Amino acid sequence: MALLIDLFGYLSVILHGLTIVAQSMALGGILFLIFLARPFADALGTVGDDILRRTRRIAGWAAVALIVCEAATIALQGAVLIGTVDLSFADVMSADFAIAGQIKILAAALLVVLAFGFPNTPRPVLAGVVLLELAAATLTTHANARLEDRVPLLIVEGLHQLGAAIWIGGIPSFIMALGRCHDGMAWRKVGKRFSQMSTVGVACILVSGATMTYLYVGDLPGFYGTAYGVMVGAKMAMFAGLLCLGAMNYLLVERLRTNPATPITRLKRFAEVEIGIGFTLFFAAASLTSVAPAIDLSTDRVTWNEIVERNTPQMPVLTSPDHAALALPALQQKLDQEAEAQKKNPPPAFVPGSGDLPPRNLDDIRWSEYNHHWAGLFVLLMGVLALANQAKLARPVTKHWPLVLLGLAVFLFLRSDPEVWPLGEEGFWESFRDVEVVQHRMFVALTVIFGLFEWRVRVGGLAKTKAALVFPIMTALGGALLLTHQHAIANVKDQLLIELTHTPLALASVALGWSRWLEIRLDPPGNKIAGWIWPACFIFIGFLLLSYREI
């Protein structure tokens, strides 16, 4: 059970991210139906009917996903409570959060029924269900647990979610509608209306975001000195990126007015990237629920001086401490010796899930820094080769840049688990009994497969196929998950300083993935510009890893 509560922290963030995605797509789909698909159905002719049907289907299936996510959330939290506090099932289901969750499920079920079964539901009824869902969702946000400013916070939390639903949640339906239309006038109609809708969505987000930042973060030191503030910063960065894409799409829609023959490929491609970054933003939002608001942390904040000091570049450490010197092996050795003296079985030095943190000493920190620095060299090399390849320099050599990933894989294979073969005493095959080793091995295998795959894309003629999209999707996904992974415990400064370096890494990874996506999917000249961005992201990540420090 103790293990469950450890995993629970991470699972609940992932689950929460998925819930936000499903919720905004369900509500966004319904709002798209209310404000675009229905009003324009007649004007768009047969295409209009098609768009109506498909919008309902998107909203309906998203609502199904929302039911699943919400049920899983209640089940997960309930399981932890039943297992740790001796509560009955009924006790758990009557908790405030569980009641709000049940209302959410009910409203979502209503949306499923209306979307699939009742195509002529009056628009005010649909809007009513949307509001019910929003209200219930708002009761499971931080705002509801606040002691002060609870009502204004509940209102802006609701507004925030509404804005996200209108804008990001509506984009899948928008792309679908663009794909169904076939002439400039239809594109213009759809594009123009969606522009108006997203402007309203952006306004909701701006107003509510600013209010929440003011009430939850408070001041500048709260912004850079706490995990909460750093995550809000990451959200702002992605929001700014989305605004740029949205603004460029707005200009394109305006151009359709004067010239209905304007190609709309860019509109669709940018919208795809908006979905990707938007969903990443949702995961960042989900991870905010696992950290305490900055305003509650008046002590133990990281100061500006500490940030500057930690991030002042130093020479990378390219020599490693001996693994016997690490805290855990050293402690285990001591325990083993004591047990042997008493003729007993040695206790493990660390039990995963016990709720304790594994011991760490200075050598552990050196070990970790060394790993990061060498990984940085690999990534930097990859970036430089990719950039040279882009600049048409030494192409017979530089086009093989994905092979550098194999080197990284070998390095990780050697360094992830110092206790096992070939560095440690434990044999290669027997170590497979350890779940953690297996997971590290899987990651190494994944790196190898990924590297060979992208290499085939570059030199093996897969470039024009869907296979080319695997690399951008995987890197963007990695960045998104890295954003959700980091949650400094409220008062541990060191972890926050580490998190401060991981956030730009995650953002760079997201930018890398989506710029490569645009390079593949856009027409000239846009794809050329995008083609320079992602190698630069690689180089940036390489430097960040090289300057990574834990002390």
Partner 1 sequence: MTRSISTGRKVLGAALFLALGAPLPAFAHAILMASTPAVNGTAEGPDVSFDLRFNSRIDHKRSRLTLTLPDRSQQVLPIAEDGPEDQLTTKAALKPGAYTLRWQVLAIDGHITRGDVPFTVGGN
H-only helix segments in 86-226: 89-93, 96-117, 123-138, 150-167, 171-180, 184-212, 220-225
Identify what 516 binds: partner 1, Cu ion, none; CB under 5 to 8 Å per kind: none
Does position 91 interact with partner 1 (CB under 8 A)? The reply is: yes
CA 87, 89, 91, 92 dihedral sign is positive
Q: Can you tell me which residue has the tokens 């213009």?
A: 188
Q: For the CB of residue 216, give the shortest distance to partner 1 in the complex, in Å.
A: 11
Cα angle value 505/510/511 (rounded, 5°): 95
Identify what 485 binds: partner 1, Cu ion, none; CB under 5 to 8 Å per kind: partner 1
Identify what 200 binds: Cu ion, partner 1, none; CB under 5 to 8 Å per kind: none
What is the footprint of partner 1 within residues 270-299 (CB under 8 A)? Answer: 289-293, 296-297
Report the candidate in 127, 159, 135 with the shortest Cα–Cα distance to residue 32. 127
Q: How far is the C-alpha of 180 from the C-alpha of 44, rounded, in Å?
A: 10
Does position 427 interact with partner 1 (CB under 8 A)? The reply is: no
What is the footprint of partner 1 within residues 165-204 (CB under 8 A)? Answer: none
Q: For the CB of residue 244, give the shortest distance to partner 1 in the complex, in Å.
A: 26
* Angle at which helices 2-32 and 171-180 cross, to 10°: 40
Identify what 79 binds: Cu ion, partner 1, none; CB under 5 to 8 Å per kind: none
What is the footprint of partner 1 within residues 324-353 (CB under 8 A)? Answer: 326-329, 332, 348-350, 352-353
Q: Are 234 and 483 in contact (CB under 8 A)?
A: yes
Report the helix count and the strand count for the chain, using DSSP H and E: 21, 0
Identify what 332 binds: partner 1, Cu ion, none; CB under 5 to 8 Å per kind: partner 1
Q: Are 293 and 141 in contact (CB under 8 A)?
A: no
What is the footprint of Cu ion within residues 107-166 (CB under 5 A)? Answer: 142
Count interface residues toward partner 1 (CB under 8 A): 97
Q: What are phi and psi of 121, to 5 degrees?
A: -55, 130
Does position 83 interact with partner 1 (CB under 8 A)? The reply is: no
Q: How far is the C-alpha of 177 from the C-alpha of 191, rounded, in Å?
A: 9
Q: Which residues contact 58 (CB under 8 A, 6 or more apart)?
A: 25, 29, 172, 173, 176
User: Which of 26, 375, 510, 511: binder of partner 1 (CB under 8 A)?
Assistant: 375
Does position 360 interact with Cu ion (CB under 5 A)? The reply is: no
Does position 357 interact with partner 1 (CB under 8 A)? The reply is: yes
Identify what 315 binds: Cu ion, partner 1, none; CB under 5 to 8 Å per kind: none
User: Which of 54, 56, 440, 549: binder of partner 1 (CB under 8 A)?
Assistant: 440
What is the footprint of partner 1 within residues 236-265 (CB under 8 A)? Answer: none
Nearer to Cu ion, 142 or 456 (CB): 142
User: Which of 15, 22, 37, 100: binder of partner 1 (CB under 8 A)?
Assistant: 100
What is the footprint of partner 1 within residues 459-478 (CB under 8 A)? Answer: 477-478
Q: For the CB of residue 505, give the shortest distance to partner 1 in the complex, in Å.
A: 8
Q: Are 321 and 361 in contact (CB under 8 A)?
A: no
